[in-house]
């Protein structure tokens, strides 16, 4: 049976309440920005709050071995489950829609389907992913990689936060056992769908309601360490210094310049710089900076990364410095499942919505899920194209159409006899 997405009852008031209530957990009162790093007390507070909402909706819940939260609506038939959801963690000073809106939308969609059609044929699960941003450990889609079984042995002991705490230690402090990480792997999944804010300005600028994501950008994240010679700021003449800051500054300017010269959609970002010893009157001996490099085209991404690596080596040699690179993430562009793109587009059309097929310059858990099972993503607009900032906002009247499309696609996958995810 073909479902008219506009006939589903979506509770917009409850949606807005959930956005605001979860959006208050981990909020900085000075800025309104959110910080929910994985395994921190506020992260746990947020997970517990969502768990209560899932249970109020009648779903059975569980936390898996890495702290992903699952809410399950049992299907009438045995077999693989249909998953939907997004991540509960945030970047530092983040907004209340990135990740969270996918969780709220999944819950609203499942509740609307349950109310209208009762028990699904296939089990429907909402997945609240523990860590997508890598904001605390630069952990490369930690939660989603655990679900597909792609966490390397020993990785939890290697990755550290800025205080030097390993993921393994943080897991134990939060009540999880790193030795059980492999138990988080799922092998009984039919499909994954994720609703997310666009985080860019295309949909709003073009007056569109829905984005259907065809490709998720290629993405390299690294820390560059520049070693020089620590010296006195007053007595060391400029011409004999081996100044790590002078080298790092030249490298940073060059990296940003390469992306500017390559033009859209290529991007390069230096989000953090640290200097040691970090005193006003000391020439730093070590400067480290993070580099986030992206392009939706693999060849362009290779040019960007290659040019930057070559320059950093040449600049260090010229200035008598040593340069090292620590890679946190190195991912090629990822196409999402065509059959699920078609399904989302079909539902958006059926709902009378204006939609377009588009790439995502943001990384998402869907790029990990699609390694193992059919996966699709839909976007709702971001006001002013802003995200990763407390200014992040999507008016509820632009959220509800996305929930309708998500619900209608989930209906096809989990209720309709024809629902084959492709």
Q: Which is nearer to ligand HGY, 113 or 368 (CB)?
A: 368
For the bound state, the minimum distance from the C-beta of residue 101 to ligand HGY, rounded and expressed in Å, comes to 13
- Relative to beta strand 286-295, strand 81-87 is unpaired
How many CB atoms sit inside 10 A of residue 117's CB? 16
| Sites of contact with Mn ion (CB under 5 A) | 98-99
| Site track for ligand HGY across 132-171, x = CB under 6 A | xx--------------------------------------
Give CA–CA dist 364/381, Å, rounded.
Answer: 16
Among 218, 363, 402, 419, binds ligand HGY (CB under 6 A): 363
By CB under 6 A, the residues from 169 to 188 that bind ligand HGY are none
295 binding partner (options ligand HGY, Mn ion, none; Cβ < 5 to 8 Å by kind): none
Measured on CA atoms in the order 185, 191, 194, 200, is the torsion positive or negative? Answer: positive
Give CA–CA dist 2/105, Å, rounded.
Answer: 21
19 binding partner (options Mn ion, ligand HGY, none; Cβ < 5 to 8 Å by kind): none
Q: Which is nearer to ligand HGY, 314 or 371 (CB)?
A: 371
For the bound state, the minimum distance from the C-beta of residue 246 to ligand HGY, rounded and expressed in Å, comes to 29
Q: Which of 85, 92, 377 is nearest to 217 (CA)?
A: 377
- Relative to beta strand 124-129, strand 69-73 is antiparallel
> In this structure, are residues 36 and 88 in contact, taking their beta carbons and an 8 Å threshold?
yes
Q: Which is nearer to ligand HGY, 97 or 411 (CB)?
A: 97
Answer yes or no whether residue 131 interacts with ligand HGY by CB under 6 A. Answer: no
For the bound state, the minimum distance from the C-beta of residue 52 to ligand HGY, rounded and expressed in Å, comes to 26
Q: Which is nearer to ligand HGY, 301 or 410 (CB)?
A: 301
Give CA–CA dist 86/102, Å, rounded.
Answer: 5
Answer yes or no whether residue 367 interacts with ligand HGY by CB under 6 A. Answer: no
Q: Which is nearer to ligand HGY, 125 or 365 (CB)?
A: 365
Residue nearest to ligand HGY (CB): 362
Q: What is the CA radius of gyration of the chain?
A: 23
> In this structure, are residues 379 and 203 in contact, taking their beta carbons and an 8 Å threshold?
yes
Give CA–CA dist 91/37, Å, rounded.
Answer: 7
Give CA–CA dist 96/32, Å, rounded.
Answer: 9
Give CA–CA dist 200/326, Å, rounded.
Answer: 28
For the bound state, the minimum distance from the C-beta of residue 129 to ligand HGY, rounded and expressed in Å, comes to 11
Structure tokens at 256: 């940003």
Q: Which of 1, 4, 8 is nearest to 115 (CA)?
A: 8
Q: Which of 65, 52, 57 is nearest to 106 (CA)?
A: 57
For the bound state, the minimum distance from the C-beta of residue 109 to Mn ion, rounded and expressed in Å, comes to 18
Give CA–CA dist 144/151, Å, rounded.
Answer: 9
For the bound state, the minimum distance from the C-beta of residue 95 to ligand HGY, rounded and expressed in Å, comes to 11
363 binding partner (options ligand HGY, Mn ion, none; Cβ < 5 to 8 Å by kind): ligand HGY
Q: Which is nearer to ligand HGY, 99 or 284 (CB)?
A: 99
- Say how far residue 163 (Cα) sits from the centre of its chain: 23
Count of residues of this chain found to bind ligand HGY when the rule CB under 6 A is applied: 4
Q: Which is nearer to Mn ion, 103 or 181 (CB)?
A: 103
| Site track for ligand HGY across 206-245, x = CB under 6 A | ----------------------------------------
Give CA–CA dist 334/352, Å, rounded.
Answer: 29
For the bound state, the minimum distance from the C-beta of residue 319 to Mn ion, rounded and expressed in Å, comes to 35
Residue whose entry in the numeric block shows the structure tokens 């949909």? 203
Answer yes or no whether residue 362 interacts with ligand HGY by CB under 6 A. Answer: yes
Q: Which is nearer to Mn ion, 151 or 216 (CB)?
A: 216
Binding site for ligand HGY (CB under 6 A): 132-133, 362-363
């Amino acid at each position: 049976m073909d479902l008219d997405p506009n006939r589903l009852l979506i509770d917009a008031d409850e949606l807005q309440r959930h956005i605001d209530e979860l959006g208050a957990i981990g909020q900085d009162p000075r800025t309104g920005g959110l910080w929910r790093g994985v395994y921190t007390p506020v992260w746990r507070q947020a997970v517990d709050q969502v768990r209560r909402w899932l249970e109020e909706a009648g779903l059975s819940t569980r936390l898996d071995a890495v702290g992903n939260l699952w809410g399950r609506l049992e299907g009438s038939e045995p077999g693989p489950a249909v998953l939907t959801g997004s991540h509960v963690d945030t970047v530092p000073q983040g907004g209340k829609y990135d990740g969270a809106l996918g969780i709220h939308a999944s819950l609203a969609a499942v509740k609307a389907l349950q109310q209208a059609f009762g028990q699904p044929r296939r089990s429907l699960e909402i997945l609240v992913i523990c860590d997508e941003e890598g904001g605390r450990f630069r952990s490369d889609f930690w939660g989603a990689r655990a679900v597909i079984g792609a966490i390397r042995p020993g990785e939890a002991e290697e990755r550290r936060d800025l205080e030097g705490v390993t993921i393994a230690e943080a897991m134990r402090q939060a009540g999880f056992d790193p030795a059980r990480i492999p138990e988080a792997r799922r092998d009984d999944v039919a499909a994954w769908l994720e609703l997310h804010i666009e985080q860019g300005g295309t949909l709003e600028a073009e007056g569109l309601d829905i984005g259907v994501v065809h490709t998720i950008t290629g993405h390299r994240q690294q820390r560059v360490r520049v070693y020089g010679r620590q010296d006195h700021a007053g007595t060391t003449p400029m011409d004999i210094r081996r100044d790590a800051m002078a080298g790092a500054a030249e490298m940073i300017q060059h990296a940003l310049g390469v992306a500017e010269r390559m033009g859209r959609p290529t991007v390069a970002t230096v989000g953090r710089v640290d200097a040691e010893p970090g005193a006003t009157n000391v020439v730093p001996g070590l400067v480290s900076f993070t580099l986030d490099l992206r392009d939706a085209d693999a060849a362009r991404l290779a040019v960007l990364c290659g040019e930057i690596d070559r320059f950093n080596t040449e600049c260090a040699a010229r200035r008598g410095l040593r340069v090292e690179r620590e890679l946190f993430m190195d991912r090629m562009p990822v196409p999402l499942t065509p059959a699920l793109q078609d399904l989302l587009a079909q539902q958006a059309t059926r709902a009378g919505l204006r939609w377009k097929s588009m790439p995502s310059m943001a990384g998402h858990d869907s790029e990990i899920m699609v390694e193992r099972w059919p996966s699709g993503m839909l976007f709702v607009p971001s006001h002013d194209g802003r995200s990763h900032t407390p200014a992040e906002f999507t008016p509820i009247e632009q959220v509800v159409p996305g929930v309708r499309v998500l619900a209608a696609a989930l209906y096809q996958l989990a209720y309709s006899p024809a629902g084959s995810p492709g």
